Structure 1
Amino acid sequence: MKRRQLLGTAAGVSALAGCGLFDDDPEPPPAPDALQPLLDEAVALAAAYDRAAVAEPRLAARLTPLADDHRAHAAELAKVIGAALPSTAPSAPPGPAYSLKSLRKAEQVAQKTAAAACRKAPAARAALTGSIAAARAAHAEVLR
């Protein structure tokens, strides 16, 4: 083997070693998607409405459409970010029942999260996050 061939082979091996091909360190996990908090809130809000409707059946007709909105938002967000939706039971999940006042407060907090996400979102996601922010604001008004 000529000297140039030997040096070329050595350089190639060191380049491969430098690129991580032989590293044993695992890749760091990817950062969570910026829309994940909106997805988590949508799932939590739907569950809160379900619990409130079970606790106060007379409010079910008023609360069920709002819960359905949050489930639709969660499904669309999950599709956009490639996340799996948590499986939901047919009845309300366990947890405390929420009053209209606490549901309204939760909607107001969630609306602020969605509005902030909309401001930071790329154009392809701005319409979705904006419509979620608007729906959450409307829900808070419905709960007055």
Structure 2
Amino acid sequence: MVGSAALAGCGVFDREPEPAPQPDPLQPLLDESLALAAAYDRAIAAQPGLATRLTPLAEDHRAHATELARVIGTAVPSAAPSASAPASTADTVATLRKAEQAGQKTAVAVCQAAPAARAALAGSIAACRATHAEALR
């Protein structure tokens, strides 16, 4: 009886569960990089004539995802290809440009909030996304 009383008083049974770990602050950039690469892939599939123009931009986003995953310490998830409805070339490019502009805002916000060791990566991604938006004019 004394043994069970001693166990009850040691705190083994009254510990609170560990809180779930918070997502890494770079995770939104990783998710967005993967989404942008997938958007380019869909655009290329729907508009093969844009492949020369869009493939390097998609590759940039995949490279960003790879580096972000390395820094976060996670694996890059494999993306399943998805179909998209055909759109005009102008609409496709305009949609990608808007996505790049939104992505740049995300990257700038992460850059401003990140510690110095991570701010350079986020800033580089923000600059790349701004360049992509201009390339899509």
Q: What range is the shorter-chain TM-score in?
A: 0.7 to 0.9
Aligned partner letter, 1:136: R
Alignment TM-score, normalising by the size of structure 1: 0.81
1:94 matched to 2:94: no
Aligned partner letter, 2:111: C
SS of match in other structure, 2:25: coil
Distance in 2 between the 1:95 and 1:42 partners? 19
SS of match in other structure, 2:18: coil
CA-based RMSD of the aligned residues comes to 2.2
Distance in 2 between the 1:64 and 1:23 partners? 56
In structure 1, list runs of 5 or more residues that go unmatched. 1-9
CA offset at residue 22 of structure 1?
2.9
Aligned residues: 129
CA offset at residue 141 of structure 1?
0.3
Distance in 2 between the 1:84 and 1:121 partners? 21
In structure 2, list runs of 5 or more residues that go unmatched. 1-5
Distance in 1 between the 2:115 and 2:60 partners? 23
Aligned to 1:22: 13
Distance in 1 between the 2:8 and 2:42 partners? 61
Work out the percentage of aligned pairs sharing the same amino acid.
67
One of 89, 108, 114 as aligned partner of 1:121: 114
Aligned to 1:4: none
Give a deviation string over 1:69-113, Cα, whole Å, max 9, x none: 000000000011112211145xxx114357100000000000000
Distance in 2 between the 1:86 and 1:95 partners? 19
Greater Cα radius of gyration, structure 1 or 2 = 1
Where in structure 1 do 4 or more consecutive aligned residues deviate above 4 Å? none
Aligned to 2:99: 106
1:49 matched to 2:43: no
